[in-house]
Structure 1
Amino acid sequence: MKKAIFVMGVSGCGKSTIGNLLAKELDIPFFDGDDYHPEANIKKMSSGQALNDNDRQGWLEALNLLAVKQIKESSCVIVCSALKQKYRTILSDTIEDKTEWIHLTGTFNQIFERVNSRADHFMPSALLKSQFDTLENPETAITIDISLTPEEIIKKIKHELMNTSEFGLFGLGVMGKSLCRNLANNGFKISMFNRHVDGIEVDVAKNFKAQYSELSQAQAFDDISEFVNSLQQPRRIMLMVNAGKTIDYVIEDLLPHLSENDIIIDGGNSNYKKTKERYDYLKAKGIRFIGTGVSGGEEGALKGPSIMPSGDKDAYDKVAPFLETISAKDKNGLPCCTYVGPEGSGQFIKMVHNGVEYVEMQLLAEVSTILEALGQNPDGISQTLESWKNSANSYLLEITTSIFKKKEGNDWLVNKILDKAGNKGTGNWTTIASAELGVPSTLISSALFSRYISFYKEERLQLSELIETENTSELNITTNAVLEAYQFARIINHYQGFKLISEASIKFEWNLNLSEIARIWTNGCIIRSTLMEELVSIFKETTNILTNTELIEQVKQLKPSAKKVVSQCLLNDLTTPALSEAIQFLNGITTKYASANVIQAQRDYFGAHTYLRLDDPSGKPHHTNWV
């Protein structure tokens, strides 16, 4: 990758000498920043006046433009004191991921003596001291002690530039491998690590590297110390290992090898509460932590996933060039990766993403059951789903269409798959979070429990013999009615999912941007869809999609079909829990006076829990002796 290499430090540290030598060694252009001062700055300095930040602004911007223009052709070396972080921010604007900082350091006495030993040169100690006082040490730089000889300095810089990686990936499962290839394909120098287990996991990283040409510049390790030391500081290490205790074990293994301000990114499906605990734990040790949801599966990780980082905002800024580059892009070319918010908010919305995903999958499974009951074979189901793409397209609809086409021999493969659905726990966590926050995410829990029911295969077989289902009539519905019921339920699903995110944002004071969350879910992730694209603009106006005029009209138009489909399925003993719950939920959320008054009376009867009265606006609790 072409880079702008800035050599920085206080006056007298030898920037120009080292910069020139380095450029010659690397055979790339050299530029001295002092040559780019405007005439006004030169006159001011000539009169003995020091430049202020306003004077430097245009000069720094000119050097940034020089760097931007130069690295389109080749790497370059630019010498500039760049003592303050805000100067370095201007210099690296838009090219942060293509910028390398070389910081030449020495003691005050060392540099003062060196400068004043030069012929016809004397620097007042006050001027040099002011530079030391101004200096803000960069967090991201190759730091070089000027006590070394110029030859040793160049050798050390070259070694650091050539042999250290920009980004580390820990864990080479399916997702980890795909992310490595994605990073490498985007020109990043990476280090890859996978544990060594005798006879089970041996040379995993090295063998993986040998498989793909794009990994030729990557470094492969099965030794943690060597892996960590291969990375530029502050180190950026992304963990792609199983959620739970494994994350904690890996963190403990890494800690002895890390330095202050190194960054750990958890890219697994971790529980958002654990993410906050790890953030606080590592902060106390000077290590930065980012909890990151990653969606898209193996293909998304390789070609561009949706990425949901949260936690340390300053740390995110250091890894943003990597994550945003490898992420999917929305229809406007913007990365489907954004800083979500503090603590474990990124892991929370990934959890909810998976909950919504459970429902979207369940709805398509229920739809296929209905279409089969209408007499369609898998090819017919595939054709019907294909015809829905114009009005209800989504990634899951597309893959389900493909699934029903796939044959193995003379039969469709889907007919040979055991009807027991697995899960990795995120649907469970979403349901628990909904209960803890008091949010009725009823479709997510319905989809989750449908998977649980499916797992009782043997009991289902037994009970199907004991309690026979009867199809007493034919389904009196059209495929268009099934489509409209499906569209109706999807709107309710997305309402519930984003409602859960909204309530969590309020409860935890995360200040989440629902429109931006919807935007990064428009590509790369499993629940991307045309509906999600519509929600991006809707959430700019409201946090409740059922208050949007257009969606209200859609719900009104679609509800009659949803009611008919669900009622027909009930009469014919077809299992459609998610479609049914969508109707029940809407009925409940739009009921002006619910049956909860009876429940509250019952609670007061047996437990003296009290109740409020409609005819008492004071809000005073009442209790009745019901006997």
Structure 2
Amino acid sequence: MLIIVTGVSGTGKTTLGTALSERLHLPFFDADHFHPKENIDKMSQGFPLNDEDRQPWLKALAAQLRESELSGGAVLACSSLKESYRKELSVDDNLRWIHLKGDRDLIWARMQARQNHYMKAGMLDSQIATWEEPSYGYHLSIDQSPEEMLDEALDYLKKESMKMKMGVIGMGVMGKSLALNLAEKGVPVSLYNRFVKGQEEGVAQQVLDENPDFANMQAFEDLKLFLDSLEKPRKILMMIPAGEAIDAQLDSLIPLLDAGDLVIDGGNSFYKDSERRVARMDQLNLRFLPMGVSGGEEGARKGPSIMPGGNAEGYEMVADFLGRISAKDKEGRPCVTYVGPGGSGHFIKMVHNSIEYGEMQVLAELVHLLRFGFGCSPEQVSGIFSDWGKGELKSYLLEITTDILLFKEDGELLLDKILDQAGQKGTGAWSLTTALEYGVPYSPLAEAVNARGVSGGKELRRAFSKTFEHSFIPVQASLESWLPKLKSAYALARVINHEVGFGLMKTVSDSKNWNLNFNEIARIWTNGCIIRSGLMENISVHYSPSLEFFEMPGVKEQVISGRKDLAELVGLGIAHGFAMPVMSAGINYLLGRITAESSASVIQAQRDYFGAHTYQRKDDPSGKFYHTKWT
């Protein structure tokens, strides 16, 4: 969106332009600052510029407008006295002109009041004489307050001329937050929320009412009017629940779309559903991006990690916008990347959430053991975690757990008032079923899903705790002696969770020829997302397809030093009555992965015994299969 505020000197171009820039969240440029020194010197001496003087100035302004167009727009205050000048500045068909008009005496009085400005009041008559009245744009009278002028200008831009760059469907927590994020970064946004009498009425308009400072947003309940408000080709972000709602919304949209329009699914859809939708939209010559978004409400508003897949051309249409609203890594690069074809964007978001499940469960297990095994106060546990978070173990989840352990309501720890039944929305279970489908070992992260399921049976757990007289047994060993082991065990458990998740991503990527770039995936997970951490920063630098995950620098050392500590901690916890599903599954998984001679030979013998499934022999490298008659 390019806006040029014109008029002779003294009409208030800079005042209005600055106000528009603040309300529309666009950069502001004052044409006066683009004059070469020779022009400024000439005007300071009271001499008007001629057309030859203005040529380098106009070229510099046009260059700035073209540059601003690529980055989303700008507001320029420029006298543009002649039609020939305005023609040189007309770099885009959608450029909007606001021409300031006023009585000479009023302008004269304003110019006389200005201090330290090179344009002298005596030059006003020269400018008025040069002014060529344009037949287009909006003519705005300056005979009113700056606030009234701003409101009138915004009304013109909003109702008469502004086509929105993006549309967002669904004004739930995430949709509203992303829409505000886009608007704040200078992207004009149309908001749409369905109308359901008595349930959902005026939802999109309420977002506008609650955020009056954002003048670059419009609200709709009519789908066709919403689509008509968008610049073509349209770019539409759906932030609605996964499943049937996505297909139903597409059914409503498709008849109203034009070839080349782009629809983005920013929810947590199952990646196989997303692949089907990509194919459907492609057949209709429409573009579709299944896009993972991580960061929760705060991330969506301030900068999430974004994982788009699907149509590559569609990604290019919104790459700039997504880069603006995303979080930034430590080098300032946007935490967004084109993941790959099909449903790959939603696939890696699914695995991200699976790792998230594991990380959350490990922290929950440690909190429980420290509080009710070692007898630590919540403040002590928070202090331990805070200390860990200052080093290589830093992570967002560790940070928020530290805060949770200190949060009190009416003087009491809120955590102890929360019902211990963990919820889930499906992505963890989808990861587990996908791992089973592809034969990928997934036990640590599978246990994170199972632990939430087990937590659901609260009444039965209460009954069984009485039936079996179960209670936690206090740990007699000193906390100080165990703290180094606790830290080491936690570090290794996290490494295992990530290795499992990346193993699933690599297997599926290879199977589907997605060619996922795991260094880049890890990079966009270093900020904005829920599993951002120091470990992820290390993975982003050192991951290599030619190197096993456990052998990466910084990871290998933790496997070597931490496995004894993790095993001892799991033994301690279980012996004292604490369920430690993810940490125990983690050490079992690791030991299975690093054991040269495993117990699987017994399994093969058993299978051959009862089912004649055959086996291979260590003493025959040919790979031949054998069968034995065991009785």
Same fold, TM exceeding 0.5? yes
Return the letter of the residue paired with 1:396: L
Classify the secondary structure of the residue corresponding to 1:276.
helix
Most deviating of 167-176 and 383-392: 383-392
Report the secondary structure of 1:188's partner residue: coil
- How many positions carry a matched residue from both structures? 509
Indicate yes or no: 2:393 matched with 1:397.
no
Aligned to 2:435: 434
Does the residue aligned with 1:615 lie in a helix, a strand or coil? Answer: coil
1:458 and 2:462 correspond: no
Q: Which moved more, 1:463-472 or 1:611-620?
A: 463-472
Specify the code of the residue in structure 2 equivalent to 1:420.
Q
> In the alignment, does 2:560 pair up with 1:556?
yes
Whether the aligned pair in 1 keeps the contact of 2:375 and 2:474 (CA below 8 Å) is: no
Separation in structure 2 between the aligned mates of residue 505 and residue 298 of structure 1, nearest angstrom: 30
Residues 67 and 610 (structure 1), Cα distance of their counterparts in 2 relative to 1, 3 Å cut? same
Give 1:563 deviation, angstroms: 1.8
What does 1:235-314 correspond to in 2, within 5 Å?
235-314=234-313
1:386 alignment partner in structure 2: 386
Aligned pairs (5 A) from 1:405-554: 405-469=406-470, 474-476=475-477, 478-540=482-544, 542=546, 544-554=548-558
2:376 aligns with: 376
1:570 corresponds to 2:574: yes
d(CA) in 1 for partners of 2:343, 2:444: 24
What is the CA distance between 1:410 and its match in structure 2? 2.7
Moved more, 433-442 or 197-206: 433-442
Q: Report the residue type matching 2:597 in the other structure.
A: Y
Structure 1 residue aligned with 2:20 = none
Residue segments in structure 2 that go unaligned for 5+ positions in a row: 5-28, 32-60, 81-89, 96-133, 140-155
C-alpha distance after superposition, 1:156-205 (max 9, x if no partner) = x9999933110000001000010011011101111000010000110000
Structure 1: gaps (5+ residues): 5-26, 30-61, 78-97, 104-149
The counterpart of 1:626, out of the listed 616, 626, 630, is 630
* Alpha-carbon distance, 1:465 to partner: 0.9
Partner Cα distance (2:171, 2:553) in 1: 47
CA distance in 1, matches of 2:575, 2:537: 36
Counterpart residue type for residue 455 of structure 1: G
Q: Paired residue for 1:169?
A: 168
Using a 3 Å threshold, how does the CA distance of structure 1 residues 432 and 3 change in structure 2: closer, same or farther?
A: farther
Instruction: Return closer, same or farther for 1:492/1:75 CA change in 2, 3 Å cut-off.
Output: farther
How many Å apart are 1:550 and its aligned residue? 3.3
CA contact (8 A) 2:65 2:91 kept: no
State the shift of 1:28 in Å: 11
What's the % identity of the aligned pairs?
43
Flag the 1:270–1:153 CA change in 2: closer, same or farther, 3 A: same
Tell me, yes or no, if the aligned pair for 1:241 and 1:247 is still in contact at 8 Å.
Answer: yes
> Which shifted more, 264-273 or 533-542?
533-542
Which residue does the alignment assign to 1:359? 358
Q: For the residues of structure 2 that align with 1:223 and 1:371, how far apart are their CA atoms?
A: 55
The 5 A counterparts of 1:86-105 are none
Aligned to 1:113: none
Residue 370 of structure 1 deviates from its aligned partner by 1.3
Evaluate the alpha carbon distance shift between residue 221 and residue 168 of structure 1 in structure 2; reply closer, same or farther with a 3 A threshold. same
- Provide the rounded CA distance (Å) in 2 between the counterparts of 1:72 and 1:223: 30
Distance between the aligned counterparts of 1:374 and 1:309, measured in 2? 45
- Following superposition, the deviation at residue 442 of structure 1 comes to 1.4
In the alignment, which residue of structure 2 is the partner of 1:24?
none
Q: Which residue of 2 aligns with 1:346?
A: 345
Q: Which residue of 2 aligns with 1:222?
A: 221
Does 1:602 pair with 2:602? no
Q: TM-score, normalised by structure 2?
A: 0.76
Give 2:485's aligned amino acid: A
Q: Give the letter for the 1:454 counterpart.
A: S
Aligned residue number for residue 108 of structure 1: none
Shift of 1:2: 3.9
SS at match of 2:434: helix
1:233 aligns with 2:232: yes
Q: Aligned in 2, Cα 1:475/1:362: closer, same or farther, shift over 3 Å? A: farther
Q: Deviations over 1:31-73 (max 9, x none)?
A: xxxxxxxxxxxxxxxxxxxxxxxxxxxxxxx987873289777
User: Quick one: distance in 2 between partners of 1:543 and 1:289?
Assistant: 34
